[in-house]
Structure 1
Amino acid sequence: MAFASRLQFFVRTDGKTLVFRANSSDTVRSVHERIHLITKIPVVEQRLIYRGKQLQCDKSLAECAIQNDACLHLVGRMRSTGHSKAWRIIDDIISLVRRLCEGETVPYALKTIRTKISEYLSMTPKDDDDPATGHLQLFMSFSVPAALVMLYMSPIRDNKEHAEESIRHFLESCITELPKSLRSRCAPIVLEFCNLLRRIASDDPLYLSCRSSFGSMMKVIKVRWVSKHTESVKRAISIKEIFPFVKELADKLSKDLELSLHTIASLGTWSDVHDFKMFLRPLRTVMSGYKGFKHPISLPMENEHRHVLLCKEEVELLYQVFEDMLKKMGECLFRMEQWLSANVSGEIDIACPAWPQYLTILKELNGISKLYLGSEEEFWTILSMRKRALCMLVVRYAKRSADHKWLLEHKDIMDFESRRHLVMMMFPEVKRDFQEQHEMLIDRSQLLSESFDYIANAKAESLHGGILMEFKNEEATGPGVLREWFVLVCQAIFNQQNPLFVACPNDRRRFYPNPASTVEPLHLKYFNFSGRMIGLALMHKVQVGIVLDRVFFLQLGGYSISLEDIRDADPDMYNNCKWILERDPEYIDSDALGLTFVREVEELGLRRVVELCDGGKGMVVNSKNRNDYVDLLIKHKFVTSISQQVSHFAQGFGDILSDLGLQKFFFQSLELEDIDQMLHGSGNDISVKDWKAHTEYNGYKFNDPQIVWFWKIVRKMSPQQKKNILFFWTSVKYLPVEGFRGLASRLYIYKSMEDISHLPSSHTCFYRLCFPPYPSMTIMEQRLSIIAQEHVGCSFGTY
């Protein structure tokens, strides 16, 4: 009904046409004043004529019987302008619209309007901001948006289609005809289209297109807390102008969330989620950066700064949006867990189009929660209660194109599988195109040195596409050979005959950099190489049987080292430091230990004394400074003495990530146990039952004698023999933590046509084991026992 009280009419003068919108209660004088703002013609010189009569200034438009689409004539002289050509183009557009609204048939009307719009935008000054602003301002000053919307509402046949195509053409032309630096200048024009079309219907397709276009401009336009009314196209958009779109979209999404509680089908594409995100982010940015009040915001806002109170309603309504949508999301996640517990079929990805959008909505709610006191804690409390649903969303729907830092900053909310999924997206996606892969030809007898040359000297970008690896004088190539190479090189790097790393006494799988690695002249380059190798192994999802010690892992994440962290790396130092800290103060102060702030270091068979701080030799350890002594002792051995080694390893590891700046965050996003499982894989013995369940047959049937014998023989093997058989079969030496389910594909046993005197063979790329139909279990056992030997199983496959 508010729309019915508004009038849209034309004012014609000196061959030019203006479009106005006004309330029927507005006076004629107010129209004269608005004409003055546009044309600079003094009000006293203006005369408005309608139906042959001059309109009196003190009369209202209703009293003068002015109707929608009316054409008034202005008697007065239109002043010249610096954009005369642009004025002529705009006047042509408005005049054509007026003729169409009056029912006149105009040949090629749509083509003409589209051509004029393109011509107008293409002639926008490109090099100077102010002339461009003045040029585009004419589009608003002459109310071209109002004219086109008037045409869109016209009951005359074809007018609506002409208007819709023209407006859509304008939206597209803003991108095609204007450079990026000027596109933001069109935002107020698109906002005007939105405001006009929204009065028709909030679900009008043309309005929705304009709203999406305006939302996409939020990336480049300037948004302010408040802004004074101005006709300038250059003006900033205010919170009050953006918020109606946020509220409108939030209401729509709230209804969709409610619907998704009751059905796992029948939902749309949820394109509104994207628009909600685009409008919300600049609004949130302005609120979080505004200095008129302290953050987070405490509600109610009665005592806030007066400028804040200008947008008090929007600030409080945004909080209501947050509370409503968070409640709905909590209910949706609970409903998800119910469906998961009910063992919904594997088609659930297709049946639940709403679920992929949940993460986007949660991310935006997380951003809002930071604005209001207590809301962030409330948000993460609800997510921790729905951990299972959240983790499922992450593993199934989190994509590389999105920013998931907000989730990883709360890694304790997620399980290992979801944390692993998110950090793996920090690596480039492995390419399968051979032309994009880094090619290597390695001599097994020179494994470490040649691998070092290929990897350490390569540009980091060349390793992002993947690796094509083969051994000299061997036909095999492909993923199976690559997996074998990873395992062999990593074992060589961490071999204790090399001086690079030290194995932990209590867990020989764990390593940290050797302070004495300087005996190797190229040791820092080798640490960079080691970091690249570990990064590449993770990127290619190869378990190499190596894990990092806690002191090493923490430093890669930028954390400090405490006494408890060195328990595995140096049990003797750990016990000695604990003993010092737990002794009675009187005993320590008696100088019975004879300790000062120094440490003895052995290098190349020689021992030397290093001061832990300035004047350390003269500082006696006592009950008051013993904590400082222990901290400095730990820092020297596990931080200072290996800082260069850690730095170069981190640099090499970061080279493999999509962004070097993610290196610390990668390790901060994981627990030590996570990286253990990603690098080492399962520590459990191989389950033959699981193995058998993930194996298929070609040429054999599951109940053929040879298959029955095979599993009986494997079941009797030692754990190491089973690993050797698996490695021979797949080049997988260490199973993922999920077991066989975590491999890239199922395993296969093929019947070969070889003579029964032949040993089994394998195609490691495809996880195929091939053997002929041996006539007895004894013969098969003899053949399998040969390939179960570790030195035989290595590199025995075909490809």
Structure 2
Amino acid sequence: MSLVDCAAAAHHHLQPPRIKRKLDDYDDADYNPSDLVSVRMRKSDPNAVNSSPNPVPPPHPLSPRLPTARSSASSSSSPPSPPSKSTFISFFVRMLSDCGSIVVHASPNDTVRSVHDQIQSLTGIPVAEQRLLYRGRQLQWEQTLSECSIQRDSGLQLTGRMRSTDHPQAYQLIDEMVFLTCRLCRGEDLKLSSQVKARLMEFLAMTPRTESEQAAGHLEIFMSACAPAALVMLLMSPIEGNKKLAEESIEQFVNSSRSVLPKPIHSQCAPIVLEFCKLLGRAGNDDKLYSLCRSSLASMVEHIGIGNGLRNGSGGNGGSGKAAIAVQELFPFVSELATRLSRDLVLSTEAAASVGPLHGDVRDFTAFLLPIRAAILEQAGYGGPISVPFIEARLNLTPYGEEIKFLHCIFVNLLEKMELCLVKMEEGLSVKEKGESEHPRLGWCQYFAILKELNSISKLYQGAEEQFWAKLRHRKASVRYLITKYAKRSDDHQWILDHKEVTTFESRRHLAMMMLPEVKDEYEEPHEMLIDRSHLLAESFEYISHADPEVLRSGLFLEFKNEEATGPGVLREWFFLVCQAIFNPQNALFVACPNDRRRFFPNPASKVDPLHLEYFRFSGRVIALALMHKIQVGIVFDRVFFLQLAGMNVSLEDIRDADPYLYSSCKQILDMDSETVDQDALGLTFVREVEELGSRNVVELRPNGRSVAVNSNNRKEYVDLLIQHRFVTSIGEQVAHFAQGFTDIICSSRLHKLFFQSLELEDLDWMLYGSESAISVEDWKAHTDYNGFKESDPQILWFWKIVEGMSAEQRKVLLFFWTSVKYLPVEGFGGLASRLHIYKTTESYDRLPSSHTCFYRLCFPPYQSITVMTDRLRFITQEHVGYSFGTW
């Protein structure tokens, strides 16, 4: 079923009254705002032929109506019949706000109340809202016309009764504003326009900012006085100047409601903005003013919530305050936006398409659906995914049945369109990889946001979530591109981080990096450090551990003592050197894994240093800063350390590299024949021997563990407790302080865990260590430019021949001398911040090469032979030289 079919099927249940329906109550042909009342009178009373051409507008058909107040004597009776011609007198009643007159026939003995009833039958204005004045005096209901001295052709004035309200000044302002708009619609003095805006602005300025109930009473006046209808009448008026005034007034109200008034008051503003949306719907959904109102309404309902003013279908509101907007009233907007998105998605797949889904449409679609999804799950009582066939079979018995069915149609349709878009994307991306001229299309920019919302909808329906992720698993290339190109730092990306199977390393790295602070190109007030190489670790600790995290996030500026070099190259070198020192086993902070000496986890015996916990917090800060600056430091974490930083459990298989001997022993215990274990062949109890500071201590793994023998029934528990103590309990403090240091930079403990949860261990390896592949000389050449030299010069040919003959370690040292980078990114040289450069100098041939690591420049004179060049390069690729280039 297409989206259009779904919309048509659900139209009767889901479409609230719009302005078109209002006009259908009158005459559809030749609509004129000034005819509203006369048309209504013809509809309600065919005999009312004596109305004036310009009567007052009644309450707007789409506005909330106040109950009609009548006396007990007349509340159940029909309007009184006209008196006989022999006794009646005729007189004029000037209508509200001086908008015309009607002729009333009555007997001199009739009461004033009977006249009020006639006026109600003719105009629809409730008796309770009427006040009749004659000769400047208000007429009382119980008086007769004779007692009031009303004779034939007398003139009475009908005004609005000032109802009991806590906001009389606001009521007067809006009543005057409506009165002025009526006069403008009749073409009266256009100078009145400034008074309309003045009264509206004064009304908005008076809106209570703190008391929600007070604000509700204040804003209710705007609705009960039919101000939205009056402004829309002004908008549709053919008289010059009225349209602009109406647009400015409506924009003033809507913008003030959204941006000036505090969010707690939005629940009171939302019904008024909804009313504007309904009334403006007649002008067309592409109208700028309608779009403003719709977006403002979406923004409001997104934050209101069911229990804070957004009522459910039965009129409740979750027990909080007065009901404001029914869930069903939002579905026409969802239907409208879904249709637009479906159309625009198809258009974005066409050749040379320059259009696609609009940001505003996607944003509004998401905002409207947020409270609707909450209502379906919370108010309708669905505790889990909904079965669509079940709902269809019980459509009339199920709360929100039509809405649930309709929303599922929207999901299916948009998912189908999105799959088509992703297929077309992959075709375009494959063309780009071949080097052909294919650029990202404008329409692609909203795909990621639409996918996020479809994922949220899929959680409502049985099988829908599996269907959604299955389609994305087949489109990894498109998903990767969308993430790296369009995912925003300010958004929550956990929805896709939880599904690593649809992402790649590049996309996971991109999302993780957006959790870290962004490195600024230019630092206003960087944290300055002056480090002595001979005291690198201790001085770095003082500078980093005692600094305010906010200062560290603002940028770093570093110099080594007695060296002139500064800039990003020196900072890269410092990161590499300080991380090598932190993870050096001789400093007792971390232990290298026996099976992989690149991997480290906290040393349980680190307490030999009284400051060890402070050093772990310092280490967490340094690693977070290195990741933030995208610097590979040549070390990686062991799985047991990585899992604890992610807040995950450590299992037997996770300790394979950290402690191969313990892993093998535990495997044997678990695999051993049960009968042999029960014969106490192991001789084990629930204890563990721990060596600390030269002494051995026995730790019980459970209460009274010394007395509990390990048998076939409890051996799994024994292994789990042993692993827990060895790799969790014994290093718990160290991990916690490292995590706190990392959190200092990432700003949130939730984000710190999510950062590690979003990555595979291999992802973090590549981010911290870089590429494990040998440096490719061909890749190096391809990313190097020349200044002063040409690629065909003998010196350049000699240079690359010498590099090809170097060992892997010598190449790393040369690269470090050149760039302060020893470990390349996973992408190789293409992953560096810029291309590399070789500069020709005019220095003497006996000078060694020099470098400007900030700009990735290697400089040397045109050596006269390959022998001389080999000698010079061999010297700078000695480790102790290449790692202290700043002294040259």
Q: Deviations over 1:67-123 (max 9, x none)?
A: xxxxx997477245443322332232222222222223422x443322221111112
SS at match of 1:440: strand
1:66 paired residue number: none
Q: What aligned pairs does 1:405-416 form with structure 2 within 5 A after superposition?
A: 405-416=494-505
Cα 1:630–1:52 shift into 2, 3 Å? closer
**Structure 2 CA distance for aligned equivalents of residues 250 and 397 of structure 1:** 21
Q: Deviations over 1:300-344 (max 9, x none)?
A: 455999998353212211111111111111111111111112227
Pairing partner for 2:661 from 566, 572, 586: 572
SS at match of 1:262: coil
AA aligned to 1:379 is F
Taking structure 1 as the reference length, what is the TM-score of the superposition? Answer: 0.91
1:136 paired residue number: 219
Q: Deviations over 1:720-755 (max 9, x none)?
A: 110010000000011111100111111111111211
1:53 paired with 2:103, answer: yes
1:776 paired residue number: 865
1:658 paired with 2:747, answer: yes
> Do the aligned partners of 2:60 and 2:229 also contact (CA within 8 Å) in 1?
no
SS at match of 2:610: coil
1:499 paired residue number: 588
Q: What aligned pairs does 1:557-636 form with structure 2 within 5 A after superposition?
A: 557-636=646-725
1:667 paired with 2:756, answer: yes
**Structure 2 CA distance for aligned equivalents of residues 670 and 417 of structure 1:** 11
**Structure 1 CA distance for aligned equivalents of residues 846 and 316 of structure 2:** 92
Cα 1:25–1:440 shift into 2, 3 Å? same
AA aligned to 1:213 is S
2:194 paired residue number: 111
**Structure 2 CA distance for aligned equivalents of residues 539 and 41 of structure 1:** 72
> Do the aligned partners of 2:349 and 2:421 also contact (CA within 8 Å) in 1?
yes
Q: Deviations over 1:446-484 (max 9, x none)?
A: 100011111111122221112111111111111111111
Pairing partner for 1:283 from 372, 383, 394: 372
**Structure 2 CA distance for aligned equivalents of residues 21 and 780 of structure 1:** 100
Q: What aligned pairs does 1:451-466 form with structure 2 within 5 A after superposition?
A: 451-466=540-555
Cα 1:333–1:24 shift into 2, 3 Å? farther
1:487 paired residue number: 576
> Do the aligned partners of 1:503 and 1:511 also contact (CA within 8 Å) in 2?
yes
2:422 paired residue number: 333
User: Shift in Å at residue 37 of structure 1?
Assistant: 3.5
1:15 paired residue number: none
- Shifted more, 338-347 versus 778-787: the winner is 338-347
SS at match of 2:283: coil
> Do the aligned partners of 2:395 and 2:402 also contact (CA within 8 Å) in 1?
no
User: Shift in Å at residue 10 of structure 1?
Assistant: 9.1
SS at match of 1:434: coil
- Shifted more, 719-728 versus 625-634: the winner is 625-634
- Shifted more, 691-700 versus 91-100: the winner is 91-100
**Structure 2 CA distance for aligned equivalents of residues 122 and 771 of structure 1:** 72
Pairing partner for 1:261 from 330, 334, 349: 349
Q: Deviations over 1:335-394 (max 9, x none)?
A: 111111222788989651221211111111111111112211111111111111111111
Cα 1:199–1:307 shift into 2, 3 Å? same
Structure 2 unaligned regions, length at least 5: 1-19, 49-56, 81-92, 106-117, 125-154
Q: What aligned pairs does 1:306-705 form with structure 2 within 5 A after superposition?
A: 309-343=398-432, 351-705=440-794
**Structure 2 CA distance for aligned equivalents of residues 587 and 27 of structure 1:** 101
Pairing partner for 2:811 from 714, 722, 726: 722
**Structure 2 CA distance for aligned equivalents of residues 489 and 594 of structure 1:** 46
AA aligned to 2:333 is F
Cα 1:118–1:192 shift into 2, 3 Å? same
Q: Deviations over 1:265-317 (max 9, x none)?
A: 32054431121122122222222322533322222455999998353212211
- Shifted more, 280-289 versus 253-262: the winner is 280-289
AA aligned to 2:506 is E
**Structure 2 CA distance for aligned equivalents of residues 352 and 185 of structure 1:** 41
User: Shift in Å at residue 140 of structure 1?
Assistant: 0.7
Q: Deviations over 1:654-694 (max 9, x none)?
A: 11113232111111111111111111101111000000100
1:147 paired with 2:197, answer: no
Structure 1 unaligned regions, length at least 5: 13-17, 63-71
AA aligned to 1:225 is N
Cα 1:24–1:515 shift into 2, 3 Å? farther
Cα 1:456–1:307 shift into 2, 3 Å? farther
Aligned residues: 783
SS at match of 2:432: coil
**Structure 2 CA distance for aligned equivalents of residues 566 and 4 of structure 1:** 75
**Structure 2 CA distance for aligned equivalents of residues 686 and 711 of structure 1:** 13
1:732 paired with 2:821, answer: yes
**Structure 1 CA distance for aligned equivalents of residues 160 and 560 of structure 2:** 88
2:313 paired residue number: 226
> Do the aligned partners of 2:330 and 2:368 also contact (CA within 8 Å) in 1?
yes
Cα 1:460–1:81 shift into 2, 3 Å? same
User: Shift in Å at residue 229 of structure 1?
Assistant: 10
1:102 paired with 2:102, answer: no
> Do the aligned partners of 1:390 and 1:414 also contact (CA within 8 Å) in 2?
yes
- Shifted more, 505-514 versus 596-605: the winner is 596-605
2:10 paired residue number: none
> Do the aligned partners of 1:728 and 1:796 also contact (CA within 8 Å) in 2?
yes
2:13 paired residue number: none
- Shifted more, 596-605 versus 685-694: the winner is 596-605
Cα 1:461–1:362 shift into 2, 3 Å? same
1:711 paired with 2:784, answer: no
- Shifted more, 759-768 versus 272-281: the winner is 272-281
**Structure 2 CA distance for aligned equivalents of residues 355 and 177 of structure 1:** 34
**Structure 2 CA distance for aligned equivalents of residues 348 and 270 of structure 1:** 26
> Do the aligned partners of 2:432 and 2:438 also contact (CA within 8 Å) in 1?
no
1:89 paired with 2:178, answer: no
SS at match of 1:373: coil
User: Shift in Å at residue 143 of structure 1?
Assistant: 0.7
AA aligned to 1:211 is R
SS at match of 1:482: helix
Pairing partner for 2:332 from 222, 238, 244: 244
**Structure 1 CA distance for aligned equivalents of residues 751 and 268 of structure 2:** 35
1:200 paired residue number: 283
Q: What aligned pairs does 1:56-67 form with structure 2 within 5 A after superposition?
A: none
> Do the aligned partners of 1:239 and 1:311 also contact (CA within 8 Å) in 2?
no
Identity %: 55
Cα 1:152–1:515 shift into 2, 3 Å? same
- Shifted more, 292-301 versus 604-613: the winner is 292-301
**Structure 2 CA distance for aligned equivalents of residues 718 and 338 of structure 1:** 42
SS at match of 1:53: strand
**Structure 1 CA distance for aligned equivalents of residues 680 and 38 of structure 2:** 94
1:163 paired with 2:251, answer: no
AA aligned to 2:272 is I
Cα 1:291–1:250 shift into 2, 3 Å? closer
> Do the aligned partners of 2:591 and 2:603 also contact (CA within 8 Å) in 1?
yes
Cα 1:657–1:229 shift into 2, 3 Å? closer
Cα 1:601–1:21 shift into 2, 3 Å? farther
SS at match of 2:558: strand
> Do the aligned partners of 2:636 and 2:769 also contact (CA within 8 Å) in 1?
yes
User: Shift in Å at residue 21 of structure 1?
Assistant: 10
> Do the aligned partners of 2:425 and 2:478 also contact (CA within 8 Å) in 1?
yes
**Structure 2 CA distance for aligned equivalents of residues 616 and 588 of structure 1:** 17
User: Shift in Å at residue 401 of structure 1?
Assistant: 1.7
1:211 paired with 2:283, answer: no
AA aligned to 1:254 is S
1:787 paired residue number: 876
